[in-house]
Structure 1
């Protein structure tokens, strides 16, 4: 229930109870402002401090993980199942599931601090300083597609602060949720231990593209990974909607 004197901490506790997102992993935004638990004097903030009204939208960004300083290279591994359709034979007496071999396109958009300048790494432009599109293949036996991208944090330009990773449907009229169980796994590239740093499911993304996550250098110079999962129009051939959305997110994720 809305109360203008509700503390931000109380709201985060309600979100934790409803969506199982720990308070320490939450970042809340209202009209571009980050909702902090306390002000500069240590006084607990309330919704009225940020002019939040009944019916207003508050945007939640979930922190997936914080990268220790010893981790210099990470790999982002995207996996999805072929789209399916039901085929019928003999006037509908026989029904079988058909798998359609089809790609999703993975891209990385790298943005510079205090600027709208960016560059893109994808299947068409496979490498830029610190970022490489390593592989793309279809596993016919498992009926799954696969992308792998690597990031060397130490080799990025000093001005790069935000990396946004996207997945886009290539087929005409396709959306991301046409594909079966798309998911992202992130792990340390140089480690012999294959344990994931973090992972997220992309199920339920009902548009042509999804902004999966952001790997960003925060104001304290620590690299963090935030869950975004923002559905968006456009694909690898028309990125205007994606870029506009990422520019807005860049100002929120710091």
Structure 2
């Protein structure tokens, strides 16, 4: 078959320019706002890149523990090992008890080839925030007690600070203990007291107890949570106090935490008690969260991001 050929004609301007007109057009283009100085652009882009790198490398990083920020000079601390030492110096927390988490990933001291890992390998730059979780040594804990009290808000209403215990089997939520679910027949040695109210002194009290030896073997984690029931934040309650103890050693608080540092939060995941064989390890978590005892969804989602940390 014969193929038709398509021809395109281009119109040309055959007008001749005088020397004067050529000079005038050249001057016009030299002054044009859209003219690009390629060499200048290249130099400017390089300067911007160098400036961005300098911004990334200068400044502080912030290690967050129970709502408090530990300030570390990023220019002086480049490795995970060096960061742990700086935390030890500033907060007197033993290196072996430090668990550092950034964007849901636990920071490791060394790579597979045994070299020290740099913070930059985790995407950590100046102004980054790193979560610090403090672990106790493994303990044989029999009777665990999570106890707390609070004062009513200033607006004269009776309001409640809720304590909740979530039980997990691996990374699966199993059951909760709170004012609505204080006790289960299958685990009678774990229970929630419910609200104990002192109206005369305008204070409330709750207590969660658990005989850890009596828990099913597939229960691996207990998460303890505080949340504001009706008030917008934990800071609305007067002088809240709490403790996590082994009843055999009531003088030793296993989870120290300054609630004043998270006063703006609706809820805080206080600590995690994790099974390690026949013993248990307590981790001070201090992670803020949305949600409360009326809606545990956001808290469960936050715990899901901690999968594998404990």
Q: TM-score range by the shorter chain?
A: 0.7 to 0.9
Q: TM-score, normalised by structure 2?
A: 0.66
Report 1 or 2 for greater relative contact order, CA contacts < 8 Å, sequence distance ≥ 6.
Answer: 1
Measured in 1, the distance between the counterparts of 2:226 and 2:287 equals 11
Alignment of 1:198-237 (within 5 A): 198=254, 199-205=256-262, 206-218=264-276, 222-237=279-294
Secondary structure of the 2:257 match is strand
Q: Gaps spanning 5+ residues in structure 2: where? A: 1-72
- Partners of 1:153 and 1:39 lie apart in 2 by 36
Alignment partners' CA distance in 1, 2:232 and 2:77: 45
Cα deviation, residue 119, structure 1: 1.3
Give distance in 2, aligned partners of 1:12 and 1:207: 27
Unaligned runs of 5+ in 1: 86-98
Match of 1:95 in 2: none
Shift of 1:3: 5.1
Higher helix share: 2
Determine if contact 1:61/1:228 at 8 Å carries over to the other structure.
Answer: yes
Alignment check: 8 A CA contact 1:32 1:251 kept: no
SS in 2 for 1:24: helix
CA gap 1:31/1:54 in 2 versus in 1, 3 angstroms? same
1:35, CA displacement in angstroms?
A: 1.5
Deviations along 1:20-66, whole A, 9 cap, x unmatched?
Answer: 43333211012332223345665443324545344443221122x33
1:80 equivalent to 2:150? Answer: yes
SS at match of 2:308: helix
Structure having the higher Rg: 2
Shift >6 Å, 4+ stretches: none
Q: Could you tell me which of 24, 34, 59 is aligned with 2:96?
A: 24
Once the two structures are superposed, the pairs formed by residues 89-168 of structure 1 within 5 Å of their partners are: 99-113=156-170, 115-128=171-184, 129=187, 131-168=190-227
Moved more, 142-151 or 128-137: 128-137
The aligned residue for residue 252 of structure 2 is 196
As a proportion of its length, which structure holds more strand?
1
Residue 68, structure 1, aligned to residue 139, structure 2: yes
Q: Deviations over 1:71-100 (max 9, x none)?
A: 311111112222124xxxxxxxxxxxxx54
Aligned length: 233
SS of the residue aligned with 2:299?
A: helix
Report the TM-score when normalising by structure 1: 0.80
After superposition, the Cα gap between the structure-2 partners of 1:26 and 1:157, relative to the gap in structure 1 and judged at 3 Å, is same
2:229 alignment partner in structure 1: 170
Shift of 1:4: 9.9
Distance 1:195 1:4, change over 3 A: closer
Q: Is the 8 A contact 1:185 1:196 kept in 2?
A: no
Residue 149 (structure 1) shift? 0.3
Give 3-state SS (helix, strand or coil) of 2:252's partner: coil
